[in-house]
Amino acid sequence: MQNTTKDILKTLYPARPAEVQKYDYGLVLVIGGGEFYTGAPALAALACFRAGADMIRLIAPKRAADIIASFSPILAAYPLPNSHLIKSDLAALLSMTEAGKEVSRGNISVVIGGGLGRTPETLETILEYLSAIQVPAVIDVDAIHAVAKNLDILKGKPFLLTPNTFELTLLGGKDIRPLSQEERIQEVQNVASQLGTTLLVKLKTDIITDGTNVLLNDTGSPYMSVGGAGDTLAGIAGALLARGVSSMNAAAGAAYINGKAGELAAKKFGESLVATDIIDAISEVIK
C-alpha cells in the first residue's frame, strides 16, 4: 500500500520524442450532458486537454452539444438528435467509438456519465453501450447508476469507476464514512475484487484499488466540494487512459493531479474556487 507522490508524474509524462503524430497521446470520447446539466462534460473535456490528451470528441444530446460548442474553440461537440440519451442513439455511440479507435490507432478512452441524467431509458442505453465496448473507460456519476443495475458487465472490462461514498453503496459496498481508515480500505478493496474492476473512491484520502493492489492519495482541499471537481477528475483520468496508462496508475495520477490543482486553486481563490480554476491549475502541476 503506497501513497501517491509527485514522483508519479515522471511515469505518466515521460519526455516526448522529437517527432510525434496526432493521437499518439490519445483521443478521448466524452459522453455526457442533457437538458439541464451541460457543464459536466465540458469540464471533463477541458480537463482532458489540460492533462495532455491530443483530441477530445464530445458527444451529447443536441441542446447540450450546442451550448458546449460555444464554450471554447477547442471543443468539438457532436450533437445527438434528442433531448437526452435514448436507445436510438446507441448505434451512433458504437460507430463513433469504433471510428475513434481506428483513427487513433487504439490510443483511445471513453469518459461517460456526467450530466446524462437517470431516466430509465438513458440508464439502459448507457448499460448497453458499456456492455458492447472493449476500450478503456472512466465510468462516473450517472453511468455508475447505470452499471449498478447489472454489475456483471464490469468483469473483464478495462474500466475505471470513480464513485463517491454513496455511489459505492450502489456498487454493493457499505457506507464507509463511519469506518476507520483501515476498514475503509478493506471494504473498498473487497468491492473492487467482487466487481473485477478498478475503483477510485473519492474521500479526504482517496482509495484506489483493483481488488489486489491499493494506492492512496492525500492531495486535495476542503474547497473542492464545489460542483464540477469530480468532472475534472474524470477528465484527467480519461486523458491518462488514452495514453495507455494502466487503470490503477491513471486513477492514482488523476487523483494526485486533480487534488494538487485544487490545492493551488484554493490558495488563490478560497471560498470563491470554481471547477474551471482547477482546470487552469493542472498545467502548474504537470509542467
| Mean pLDDT within 15-37 | 95
Residue-wise pLDDT tens digits, 94-142: 999 999 999 999 999 999 999 999 999 999 999 999 999 999 999 999 9
Q: Please give the pLDDT value at position 91.
A: 97
Confidence of residue 184 (pLDDT cuts 50, 70, 90): very high
User: In a 10 Å sphere around its CB, with 0-12 CB exposed, 13-18 middle and 19+ buried, how is residue 20 labelled?
Assistant: exposed
Is pLDDT at 214 greater than 90 in this prediction?
yes
Is pLDDT above 90 for 208?
yes
What is the DSSP annotation of 26-52? -EEEEE---SS--HHHHHHHHHHHHTT
User: Looking at residue 37, what is its pLDDT?
Assistant: 86
Q: Is 70 exposed, middle or buried (0-12, 13-18, 19+ CB in 10 A)?
A: exposed
Render pLDDT for 65-91 as a digit per residue (tens, 0 to 9). 999 988 889 999 999 999 999 999 999
Instruction: Indicate if the pLDDT at residue 252 is higher than 80.
Output: yes
* pLDDT at residue 34 greater than cutoff 80: yes
pLDDT of residue 100: 97
E strand spans, the chain = 2-3, 27-31, 55-61, 76-80, 108-112, 137-139, 159-161, 198-201, 206-209, 214-217
Cα dist. 86→60, 124, 139, 218 in Å? Answer: 11, 8, 18, 39
**Could you count the other beta carbons within 10 Å of the beta carbon of residue 287?**
7
The share of the chain scoring above pLDDT 90, in percent, equals: 95
- d(CA 40, CA 137) in angstroms, rounded, equals 16
pLDDT in tens, 264-279: 999 999 999 999 999 9
Q: Check residue 157 and give its pLDDT.
A: 96
Per-residue pLDDT band for 35 (boundaries 50, 70, 90) equals: confident
Distance between CA atoms of residues 207 and 187, nearest Å: 10
Q: Which domains does the chain have, with CATH numbers?
A: 22-286 (3.40.1190.20)
pLDDT at 1 exceeding the cut of 80: no
